[in-house]
Amino acid sequence: MSENPFDNRIEEVNHESEAIFDATNEALAKPNPSLEFCTLTTEETIEKLDTNAVSGLQSVAEASRRRSEYGVNEVVSEETESIWKKFLSNFIEDPLILLLIGSAVVSFIMGNIDDAVSITLAIVFVVTVGFIQEYRSEKSLEALNRLVPAECHLIRCGQESHVLASGLVPGDLVRFQIGDRIPADLRIVEAVGLSIDESNLTGENEPVHKTSAEVSKESYNDQPYSIVPISDRTSIAYMGTLVKEGHGKGVVVGTGKDTSFGSVFEMLSTIEKPKTPLQMSMDKLGKDLSLVSFVLIGLICFIGVVQGRSWLEMFQISVSLAVAAIPEGLPIIVTVTLALGVLRMAKRKAIVRGLPGVETLGSVNVICSDKTGTLTSNHMTVSKMWCLGSMETKSNALVLDKGRTTNYRNYLTEDVKATLAVSNFCNNATFSQEHGKYLGNPTDIALLENLAKFELQDMRFSAKKVHEIPFNSSRKFMATEMIDSEGKCTLYVKGAFEKVLSQSANFLNKRGKVEKLLDSHRNVIVETANSLAADGLRTLAFAKIDIPDSTAEIDEEAITGLTFTGLIAMSDPPRPTVKPAIEKLLQGGVHVIMITGDSENTAVNIAREVGIPVINPQLSVLSGEKLNEMSDEQLASVIDHVNIFARATPEHKLNIVSALRKRGDIVAMTGDGVNDAPALKLADIGVSMGTMGTDVAKEASDMVLTDDDFSTILTAIEEGKGIFNNIQNFLTFQLSTSVAALSLVALATTLKLPNPLNAMQILWINILMDGPPAQSLGVEPVDHEVMKKPPRKRTDKILTNAVLHRLLTSAVFIIFGTVYVFVKEMAEDGQVSSRDTTMTFTCFVFFDMFNALACRHATKSIFEIGIFANKMFNYAVGLSLLGQMCAIYVPFFQKVFKTESLSLGDLFFLLAISSSVFVADEIRKLWVKRNARQDPFYYSNV
Give yes or no for residue 567 having a pLDDT over 90: yes
Q: Which whole number is the average pLDDT over 100-106?
A: 67
Cβ 114 vs Cβ 895: under 8 Å:
yes
How many other C-beta atoms lie within 10 A of the C-beta of residue 768? 25
What distance in Å separates the CA atoms of residue 720 and residue 730, rounded to the nearest whole number? Answer: 16
- Which H or E run includes 514? strand 514-516
Burial of 763 (0-12, 13-18, 19+ CB in 10 A): buried
Would you state the pLDDT for residue 326?
A: 57
Range name among 384-393, 514-523, 770-779 with the lowest pLDDT average: 770-779
Q: Which band of pLDDT confidence, cut at 50, 70 and 90, is reported for residue 637?
A: confident
Would you state the pLDDT for residue 550?
A: 65
Running DSSP on this structure, what letter comes out for residue 375? I
Buried b (16+ CB within 10 A) or exposed e, 231-246: eebbbbbbbbbbbbbb
pLDDT, tens only, 38-67 = 999 999 999 999 999 999 999 999 999 999
Burial of 291 (0-12, 13-18, 19+ CB in 10 A): exposed
Cβ 21 vs Cβ 202: under 8 Å:
yes
Q: Catalytic residue among 172, 197, 258, 370, which? A: 370
pLDDT, tens only, 434-447 = 667 787 777 888 99
Would you state the pLDDT for residue 895?
A: 87
Cβ 917 vs Cβ 810: under 8 Å:
yes
Backbone Cα Rg of the chain: 34
Q: Highest mean pLDDT range out of 112-126, 133-147, 192-206?
A: 192-206
Residues forming a β-bridge with 603: none
What distance in Å separates the CA atoms of residue 673 and residue 695, rounded to the nearest whole number? Answer: 9
CA dihedral sign, ordered 484, 487, 488, 492: positive
Cβ 842 vs Cβ 889: under 8 Å:
no
Q: 674 vs 149, 339, 351, 370, 420, CA distance in Å?
A: 19, 29, 20, 12, 27
Range name among 220-234, 431-445, 457-471, 775-789 with the lowest pLDDT average: 220-234
Cβ 413 vs Cβ 390: under 8 Å:
yes
**Cα angle: 45, vertex 49, 54; to 5 degrees:** 75
**708 has catalytic annotation:** no
Say which residues have a Cβ less than 8 Å from residue 56's Cβ, sequence separation at least 6: 154, 155, 156, 157, 158, 171, 172, 173
What distance in Å separates the CA atoms of residue 757 and residue 832, rounded to the nearest whole number? Answer: 11
Say which residues have a Cβ less than 8 Å from residue 31's Cβ, sequence separation at least 6: none
Q: Which band of pLDDT confidence, cut at 50, 70 and 90, is reported for residue 345?
A: confident
What distance in Å separates the CA atoms of residue 726 and residue 74, rounded to the nearest whole number? Answer: 37
Name the residue type at position 142.
E
How many other C-beta atoms lie within 10 A of the C-beta of residue 393? 12
Kindly report the pTM of this predicted structure. 0.64
**Cα angle: 241, vertex 555, 232; to 5 degrees:** 30
The torsion region of residue 538 among left (phi > 0), alpha (psi -120 to 50) and beta comes to beta
Q: What share of the chain is helix, strand, coil (3-state, %, to 5)?
A: 55, 15, 30
CA dihedral sign, ordered 693, 696, 699, 703: negative
Would you state the pLDDT for residue 205?
A: 57
pLDDT, tens only, 841-899 = 999 999 999 999 999 998 888 888 888 888 888 998 999 899 999 999 999 889 888 89
839 CA to centre of own chain: 50
Residues forming a β-bridge with 564: 507, 543
Say which residues have a Cβ less than 8 Å from residue 476's Cβ, sequence separation at least 6: 495, 496, 498, 499
